[in-house]
């Protein structure tokens, strides 16, 4: 049984801009999927349709055996608890400590009042520290997030999403603002989480070479349509040119 299924999903912004056209694919548990495609091809829109930051105009999104595209507000919250998300700009609360930001992952599981007040149980705090240890951030636990480097911030973002105990993690350009070595650390952590914790990951990536190296499956997107869906070793050079609608010599990957 697939964990996630898109059936004929369309998204039109402001009645005019067509972002997604008849998207259909399904993702099984444990997959490490990378979506590639030029800016504006609808990568972010696909991710955001899954956790309903964006509402699909047409079609159905099924997550964990329930129809999320037509769910009530309460059901959306239930589904969101099971879906972690990692952002290009980390999206941490900069003025709070690292550990507080990690604990934010639990908010959805808590009562409104104790979540508001930031009252967490000792076992939740212990778990947060265990996660930070795995990500090599324990020494930073009591630092304020604005004191961290980009790579460290992104690891806090990962820690926060694992804290949710999600079935699926969505990553929206997780390494686009990072230097190459921090980017590798982040990708290695995501890959580990996928393999060891059996959490399905869907990543939007701009770096084709990174996608080819890490992903178990690649979805190529061009102006809102899927033009490639398959394993990375079947993705030919010509297909990449088709995805980015360019010809030989026009892509940065051609430089190497």
Partner 1 sequence: MGDNREITNFTALNSHRCVRMTRGGKIKTGADGKANLVIKITIIALLGLTIIGFLTFDYKDTNIFTAILDTFVNAGIMFGTPRLSHVSFSGAMEQLLVTFALATLATIFGAVIAFFASLLCAKNIANPIVANVVKSFVAFVRAVPTILWVFIIAMSSGLGSIAAVVGLTFHSAGYLTKAYAESIEEMNEGAIEALKTSGASFWQIVLQAIMPSSIRYMVAWTFLRFEINFANALAVGAAAGAGGIGFELWMAGNQYHDLRELGFLTYIIVIAAVLLEVIATKVKEKAG
Using CB under 8 A as the criterion, which residues of the chain lie in contact with partner 1 when the complex forms? 51, 53, 77-78, 80-81, 83-85, 87, 89-96, 104-105, 107-110, 112, 115-118, 157, 160-161, 164
Nearer to partner 1, 68 or 218 (CB): 68
Q: How far is the CB of 89 from partner 1 (least distance, A)?
A: 5
- Are 105 and 164 a contacting pair, CB within 8 Å? yes
DSSP result, the chain = --SEEEEEEEEEETTTEEEEEEEEEEE-TT-EEEEE--TTSSHHHHHHHHTTSS--SEEEEEETTEE-TT--HHHHHHHHHTEEEE-TT----TTSBHHHHHHGGGGGGS-HHHHHHT---HHHHHHHHHHHHHTT-GGGTTSBGGGS-HHHHHHHHHHHHHHT--SEEEEESTTTTS-HHHHHHHHHHHHHHHHHS--EEEEEES-HHHHHHH-SEEEEEETTEEEEEE-GGG--HHHHHHHTT--TT-SGGGG-
In the complex, the smallest distance separating the C-beta of residue 97 from partner 1, rounded to whole angstroms, is 10
- In the complex with partner 1, the residue whose CB is nearer, 163 or 235, is 163
For the CB of residue 154, give the shortest distance to partner 1 in the complex, in Å.
12
Nearest CB to partner 1, comparing residues 18 and 81: 81
Residue number with CB closer to partner 1 (2 or 96): 96
Least Å distance, CB 14 to partner 1, is 14
Q: How far is the CB of 4 from partner 1 (least distance, A)?
A: 15
The nearest distance, CB 116 to partner 1, in angstroms, is 4
Nearer to partner 1, 42 or 84 (CB): 84
Nearer to partner 1, 95 or 180 (CB): 95
């Amino acid at each position: 049984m697939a964990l996630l299924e898109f059936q004929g999903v369309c998204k039109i912004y402001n009645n005019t801009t067509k972002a997604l056209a008849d998207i259909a694919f399904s993702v099984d548990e444990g997959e490490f999927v990378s979506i590639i495609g030029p800016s504006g091809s609808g990568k972010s829109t696909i991710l955001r349709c899954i956790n309903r930051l964006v509402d699909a105009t047409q079609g159905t999104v099924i997550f964990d055996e329930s129809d999320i595209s037509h769910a009530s507000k309460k059901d959306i919250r239930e589904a969101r608890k099971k879906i972690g998300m990692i952002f290009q700009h980390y999206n941490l609360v900069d003025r709070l400590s690292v550990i507080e930001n990690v604990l934010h992952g639990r908010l959805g599981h808590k009562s409104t009042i104790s979540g508001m007040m930031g009252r967490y149980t000792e076992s939740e705090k212990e778990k947060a520290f265990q996660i930070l240890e795995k990500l090599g951030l324990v020494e930073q636990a009591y630092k304020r997030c604005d004191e961290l480097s980009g790579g460290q911030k992104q690891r806090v973002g990962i820690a926060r999403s694992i804290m949710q105990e999600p079935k699926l993690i969505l990553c929206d350009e997780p390494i686009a603002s990072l230097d190459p070595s921090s980017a590798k650390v982040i990708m290695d952590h995501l890959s580990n989480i996928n393999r060891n914790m059996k959490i399905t990951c869907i990543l939007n990536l701009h770096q084709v070479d990174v996608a080819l190296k890490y992903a178990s499956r690649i979805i190529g997107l061009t102006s809102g349509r899927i033009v490639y869906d398959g394993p990375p070793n079947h993705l030919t050079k010509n297909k990449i040119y088709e995805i980015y609608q360019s010809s030989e010599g026009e892509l940065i990957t051609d430089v190497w």
